[in-house]
Amino acid sequence: MAVYTEVSDEELSAFVARYDLGAVLAAKGIAEGVENSNYLLHTEKGFYILTLYEKRVREGDLPFFIGLMEHLAARGLNCPLPVKDRSGEALGRLAGRPAAIVTFLDGMGVRRPGVGHCGAVGEALARLHLAGEGFEMRRPNALSVEGWRPLYEAARERADTVTPGLAAATAEALGSLEAAWPRGLPQGVIHADLFPDNVFFLGPRLSGLIDFYFACTDALAYDLAVCLNAWCFETDGSFNMTKGRAMITGYEKVRPLQPAEVAALPVLAKGSALRFMLTRLVDWLNVPPGALVKPKDPLEYYRKLRFHDRVTSAADYGRPD
């Protein structure tokens, strides 16, 4: 269960009293998520999400995340909107943690994405990128190529305990990506973590995007590569080209890719796979005793990394020529 910080009834009531939300009727911890403590908050004014930001989220980054959600919502993207207290502040402190309340979105994530889901995600991602234009704050992507070698070094000595040969294969992939990483691609705000549990659907209709706490400034096409990895592989590890085609086509219906972005897509997708394999690997090797949150399997992304080794062009992801 992803509630790391318990909040007493008295603390919660005092915190919510700063807002025009009425009295607290109920608060329930939300099991999903691995970074922060989240509660479904029910007040006299309705339902909200209360987030307590844990130590892995830098407090100095919170104004970026809060400001970004406000910017995107003002431009019509259906995402959580931070709620301001009576003094006009969207950030406060609760139980010793930075905390915020955001609006509740209807919908739920999909466990087995279909082709239609992938197409809708491609469109929504492109709309996010366009809506992010004009957002003046910047946040470097700490988990881009410059951040991968420190993660590798943190896991290198014990990597082969997860699967034999993992350390050497990771070192080879890292070296090739550092040498080939594309520069000069169109940049802007990216979500950087648009996995199925961060996209809500009501039936077949995409109803909203959530969890912007990895958002940053980076190559827009890298965000598409993250989504290809997160949405278009089957449970047996195979890449579903029909899903990939639907996602890329949906994206380009809203924001056509530039030729340099198309050419870079295989490297970006391989880099995305390495990024999530490394962060999962570090978490896997450093589970604290008695932890209630089960770390995600790094080998899922190791298998995806191996697939990208065989890719020669964006056509291998289903992009129409």
Average pLDDT over every residue of 18-24: 96
Cα(74)–Cα(213) distance, integer angstroms: 18
| Confidence band, pLDDT 50/70/90 cuts, at residue 34 | low
8 A C-beta contact, residue 242 and residue 316:
no
82 pLDDT higher than 50: yes
pLDDT score of 287: 76
Give the number of other Cβ atoms within 10 Å of residue 10's Cβ: 8
Cα(40)–Cα(101) distance, integer angstroms: 10
Average pLDDT over every residue of 54-61: 84
pLDDT digits (tens, 9 = 90+) for 288-300: 665 556 789 999 9
pLDDT score of 292: 57
CA dihedral 293, 299, 305, 309 (to 10 degrees): 180
Phi/psi of residue 22, nearest 5 degrees: 75, -170
pLDDT score of 6: 80
Cα(101)–Cα(45) distance, integer angstroms: 13
Looking at the DSSP bridge assignments, the partners of residue 40 are 28, 49
* Amino acid at position 233, single letter: F
Q: Does some domain include residue 2?
A: no
Q: Does some domain include residue 3?
A: no
> Do 263 and 151 share a structural domain?
yes
Cα(45)–Cα(131) distance, integer angstroms: 29
8 A C-beta contact, residue 106 and residue 78:
no
Higher-confidence residue of 287 and 161: namely: 161
132 pLDDT higher than 80: yes
State the chain's mean pLDDT as an integer.
Answer: 94
pLDDT score of 30: 83
Phi/psi of residue 64, nearest 5 degrees: -60, -50
Average pLDDT over every residue of 19-31: 91
Average pLDDT over every residue of 256-282: 98
> Do 224 and 96 share a structural domain?
no
> Do 134 and 277 share a structural domain?
yes
Task: Please tell me the total count of domains within the chain.
Answer: 2
Helices 148-155 and 166-180 pack at an angle, to 10 degrees, of: 170
Cα(118)–Cα(244) distance, integer angstroms: 7
Cα(264)–Cα(173) distance, integer angstroms: 16
> Do 119 and 94 share a structural domain?
no
> Do 99 and 173 share a structural domain?
no
Question: Where among 103, 131, 165 does a domain terminate?
Answer: 103
Average pLDDT over every residue of 163-186: 97
3 pLDDT higher than 70: no
Q: Does some domain include residue 1?
A: no
Residue 261 has which token pair?
Answer: 């972005």
> Do 280 and 156 share a structural domain?
yes
* Amino acid at position 294, single letter: K
What is the span of the domain harbouring residue 135? 115-317
The CATH number assigned to the domain holding 95 equals 3.30.200.20
8 A C-beta contact, residue 179 and residue 166:
no
| Confidence band, pLDDT 50/70/90 cuts, at residue 40 | very high
Per the listing, tokens 């340099």 go with 260
Assessment of whether the complete model's pTM goes beyond 0.75: yes
Tally: H helices and E strands in the chain: 9, 9
> Do 196 and 87 share a structural domain?
no
8 A C-beta contact, residue 139 and residue 217:
yes
pLDDT digits (tens, 9 = 90+) for 190-236: 999 999 999 999 999 999 999 999 999 999 999 999 999 999 999 99
